């Protein structure tokens, strides 16, 4: 949502093994995942004009703070990691808050079981919690990382919080950060990232194969269902037309419109009411 800043220096290298199969080898079925939206708090009375371009300035809503979890194929993958640092708590004063590390326990997962975290963008409420999950590899767009984080872990602009930037550098030095080189990249079998939403310099969104079809976890490239239904760009974007093109692309990528999941809409938890109590199974 709002910005602060992020960190620097991902040295990530991917090795590709080429395997030759016999011509008669059966095709392996694409892996699928259980996908959940998990609410970890609320920003009360948030101005809708900060989410939907051109919205009535008097409108307010309770914006959901959400992370997403995909489980399957031997992986437990988070899309975004929320936030937990005290200065952010004091600044934003979320209600009904639990830490992202506690939130994943709602689906029977402990933080140590998270294998991967896909960071959609560097803003505080999506990236700050990445170090809560000690065994996870963190995936972020190379251009997003290098644009926002300097070589000493300094925040290069106000989109990223200083502490978040330093945290990313620390994770990078431990070999835990993987920089993704561009659009339409399958980073994990059945999970592909896309750029072009332009919420930040190189924000990304994610498609995940589920038993119900291909779902799109839009994160802040699509704040609310209202953006999609009215074809209205998000209020905080570097390029409104690019954001609308990304929304159109999400419609093509998803198996159905139902499976496009916005970043801060509390309606996600009524449209997908099961299992409840702040958890929505996307199916």
CATH number for position 165: 3.60.15.10
| Local confidence band at 27 (pLDDT 50, 70, 90 cut-offs) | low
With respect to residue 256, please indicate whether it lies within any of the assigned structural domains.
no
Alpha-carbon gap, residue 205 to 118, rounded angstroms = 9
Burial class (CB in 10 A: 0-12, 13-18, 19+), 212: middle
With respect to residue 53, please indicate whether it lies within any of the assigned structural domains.
yes
Alpha-carbon gap, residue 164 to 246, rounded angstroms = 27
86-95 tens-digit pLDDT: 999 999 999 9
With respect to residue 197, please indicate whether it lies within any of the assigned structural domains.
no
With respect to residue 8, please indicate whether it lies within any of the assigned structural domains.
no
| Radius of gyration of the chain measured on its C-alpha atoms | 18
CA 163, 164, 166, 170 dihedral sign is positive
> According to the model, what pLDDT value does residue 224 have?
98
Residues 19-42, mean pLDDT to the nearest whole number: 74
With respect to residue 236, please indicate whether it lies within any of the assigned structural domains.
no
65-89 tens-digit pLDDT: 999 999 999 999 999 999 999 999 9
N-terminal to C-terminal alpha carbon distance within the chain? 26
| 7 or 201: which leads in pLDDT | 201
With respect to residue 211, please indicate whether it lies within any of the assigned structural domains.
no
Q: How many domains does the chain have?
A: 1
Alpha-carbon gap, residue 217 to 263, rounded angstroms = 8
> According to the model, what pLDDT value does residue 29 have?
74
Tokens representing 111?
A: 């933080």
Alpha-carbon gap, residue 224 to 205, rounded angstroms = 14
Dump strand ranges (E) for the chain.
34-47, 60-72, 75-79, 116-118, 137-141, 177-180, 185-188, 191-195, 204-210, 213-219, 260-262, 279-281
Average predicted confidence (pLDDT) for the chain: 92
- Look up residue 234 and give its DSSP letter: B
- Quickly tell me which residue has 């251009």 as its tokens: 143
Note down the domain range covering 61. 34-191+263-281
With respect to residue 223, please indicate whether it lies within any of the assigned structural domains.
no
- Quickly tell me which residue has 């949502």 as its tokens: 1
Alpha-carbon gap, residue 95 to 98, rounded angstroms = 9
With respect to residue 221, please indicate whether it lies within any of the assigned structural domains.
no
């Amino acid at each position: 949502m709002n910005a602060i800043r992020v960190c620097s220096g991902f040295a990530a290298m991917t090795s590709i093994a080429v395997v030759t199969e016999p011509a008669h080898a059966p095709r392996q079925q694409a892996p699928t995942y259980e996908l959940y939206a998990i609410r970890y708090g609320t920003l009360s009375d948030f101005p809708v004009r900060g989410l939907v371009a051109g919205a009535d300035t008097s409108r307010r809503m309770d914006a959901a703070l959400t992370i997403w979890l995909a489980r399957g194929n031997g992986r437990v993958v988070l899309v975004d990691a929320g936030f937990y640092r005290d200065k952010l708590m004091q600044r934003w004063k979320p209600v009904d808050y639990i830490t992202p590390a506690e939130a994943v326990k709602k689906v029977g997962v402990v933080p140590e079981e998270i294998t991967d975290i896909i960071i959609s963008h560097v803003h505080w409420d999506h990236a700050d919690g990445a170090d809560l999950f000690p065994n996870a590899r963190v995936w972020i767009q190379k251009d997003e990382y290098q644009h926002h984080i300097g070589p000493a872990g300094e925040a290069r602009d106000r989109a990223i919080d200083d502490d978040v930037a330093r945290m990313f550098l620390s994770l990078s030095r431990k070999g835990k950060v993987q920089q993704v080189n561009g659009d339409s990249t399958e980073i994990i079998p059945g999970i592909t990232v896309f750029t072009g939403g332009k919420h930040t310099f190189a924000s990304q969104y994610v498609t995940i194969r589920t038993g119900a079809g291909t779902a799109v976890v839009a994160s802040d490239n699509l704040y609310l269902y209202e953006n999609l239904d009215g074809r209205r760009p998000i209020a905080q974007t570097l390029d409104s037309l690019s954001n609308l093109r990304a929304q159109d692309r999400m419609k093509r990528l998803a198996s159905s419109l139902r499976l496009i999941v916005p970043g801060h809409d509390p309606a996600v938890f009524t449209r997908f009411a099961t299992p409840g109590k702040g958890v929505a199974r996307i199916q």
